[in-house]
Amino acid sequence: MLPTLRQLQYLKLLSEHGSFSRAAEAAHVTQPTLSAGIQELERILGAPVVDRARSGVILTAAGEEAVHRAQAILAQTEDLVQAAQTAGQPLTGRFRLGVIPTIAPYLLPKALPVLRQRFPKLRLFLREDLTGRLIAGLRAGALDAALIALPYDMTGLAWEHVADDELLAAAPANHRMARESRVRPEDLEGDDLILLEDGHCLRDHVLAACGLEPPRPSSEESFAATSLPTLVQMVSSGLGVSFLPAMAVNAGLTEHVPMTIRHLEADHPSREIVVAWRAGSSRAREGRLLAEAFR
């Protein structure tokens, strides 16, 4: 006897919500119904999948492994349903797209009208989040595709190129680099370097492309920004220098702000913008169509 998809869904919801009552509410069933489904799943597997504690539900080792496999099975099942419903009609109905914060405000205002015009039956649900959480959502089947920047660990994913986004040097208006037409990353050594805080992939892209060491977290003079607009304000106020994606600058991020923006002399001062999806997903064709529209 094999587990049912419903039982696997119960287990997945239980792992996400940490309690039988909240998982039952998310599954739109009664708590006894969900509990009975989990008990039957344990009987089929021949091992307990949860430990019931006062603080909540804790997955056993067998439960953790079952959840991992259940996520993949449920994602493939949902792909099957979506493929059948949209056969011959790509990008119709619901599509869940993740976008990182250093892309969303600068590309989507231009791209969304194009998508509405080309695919009028598309119901696009957007989620803005950091790359790591978006990729986790892709792998778990919570997202259909994600608009992210490379390089990044893309194990288990496929992707389509959208654009190369140049990285530009940014400094206060009266900075010495204002006298130069282009600057080398090493020319900014000695200046306080301000980057986005840990978790933003742009931080890693800048450090890798420019061959720079990250600011020491223990340094009292080390600053980090939570967003690109905050980063711009910090730089323009004279707190240090930084690097900005050309996509954001071209979209007007630095307009009316006293700053100096210069091109970099480096081997590959850019990040690659891509649309990514689960390898083997039935949404691959739609991912490529999205990338084309974004281009």
CATH number at residue 14: 1.10.10.10
User: Per the domain annotation, does 127 fall within a domain?
Assistant: no
In terms of DSSP bridges, do strands 157-172 and 242-245 run parallel, antiparallel, or are they unpaired? antiparallel
Domain of 194, CATH number, reads 3.40.190.10
User: Cβ neighbours of residue 251 under 8 Å, at least 6 residues apart?
Assistant: 105, 106, 107, 109
User: Per the domain annotation, does 62 fall within a domain?
Assistant: yes
Q: At what angle do helices 31-45 and 20-27 cross, to 10 degrees?
A: 100
Say what the pLDDT of residue 254 is: 92
User: Per the domain annotation, does 295 fall within a domain?
Assistant: no
Which ranges of the chain have pLDDT less than 50?
Answer: 218-221
User: Per the domain annotation, does 174 fall within a domain?
Assistant: yes
Of the residues 38, 61, 84, which one is the last residue of a structural domain?
84
User: Per the domain annotation, does 182 fall within a domain?
Assistant: yes
Do 78 and 168 fall into the same domain?
no
Least Cα distance to 174 among 221, 122, 237, 222 occurs for 237
Do 173 and 262 fall into the same domain?
yes
User: Per the domain annotation, does 136 fall within a domain?
Assistant: no
Say what the pLDDT of residue 150 is: 92
Do 168 and 264 fall into the same domain?
yes
Say what the pLDDT of residue 83 is: 65
User: Cβ neighbours of residue 201 under 8 Å, at least 6 residues apart?
Assistant: 100, 102, 130, 131, 148, 149, 152, 271
User: Per the domain annotation, does 48 fall within a domain?
Assistant: yes
Of the residues 84, 106, 129, which one is the last residue of a structural domain?
84
Of the residues 59, 84, 109, which one is the last residue of a structural domain?
84
Domain of 80 in residue numbering reads as 5-84
User: Per the domain annotation, does 181 fall within a domain?
Assistant: yes
Pairwise CA distance, residues 279 & 157, whole Å: 5
Say what the pLDDT of residue 221 is: 47
Pairwise CA distance, residues 77 & 118, whole Å: 28
Q: Are 220 and 248 in contact (CB under 8 A)?
A: no
Pairwise CA distance, residues 283 & 33, whole Å: 33
Q: What is the pTM of this model?
A: 0.71
Number of domains in the chain: 2
Q: Are 130 and 273 in contact (CB under 8 A)?
A: no
